[in-house]
Structure 1
Amino acid sequence: MQEYAREVWSNDKYESVEHRVVVNTEKERFSIPFFFFPGHHVMVKPAEELVNEQNPAKYKPYNVGKFYANRNRSDFNKREVENIQIHHFKILD
Structure 2
Amino acid sequence: MFTIQVWSNDKYESVEHRAVVNSEKERFSIPYFFNPAHCTWVEPLEELINEHNPAKYKGYNWGKFFAARNRGNFKKLDVENIQISHFRI
Q: Is the pair's TM-score, using the shorter chain for normalization, greater than 0.5?
A: yes
Gaps of 5+ in 1: 78-83
2:36 aligned with 1:31, yes or no? Answer: no
State the secondary structure of the residue aligned to 2:34: coil
Q: Distance in 1 between matches of 2:32 and 2:13?
A: 17
Q: Could you say which structure has the larger radius of gyration?
A: 1
> 2:79 — aligned with what?
none
Kindly state the Cα deviation for residue 14 of structure 1 after the two structures are TM-superposed.
1.3
- 1:26-85: CA deviation from partner (whole Å, max 9, x where unpaired): 2222212221110100000111121111101111110001101112222246xxxxxx74
Count of paired positions: 85
Q: Distance in 2 between matches of 1:24 and 1:76?
A: 27
> 2:78 — aligned with what?
none
Closer, same or farther: CA 85–17 of 1 in aligned 2, 3 Å = closer
> 2:14 — aligned with what?
16
Which of 1, 4, 7 pairs up with 1:6? 4
- Alignment root-mean-square deviation, CA: 2.1
Gaps of 5+ in 2: 76-81
> 1:42 — aligned with what?
40
Give the TM-score normalised by the residue count of structure 2.
0.81
Kindly state the Cα deviation for residue 10 of structure 1 after the two structures are TM-superposed.
0.9
> 1:75 — aligned with what?
73
> 1:60 — aligned with what?
58
Letter in 2 for 1:60: K
Give the TM-score normalised by the residue count of structure 1.
0.78
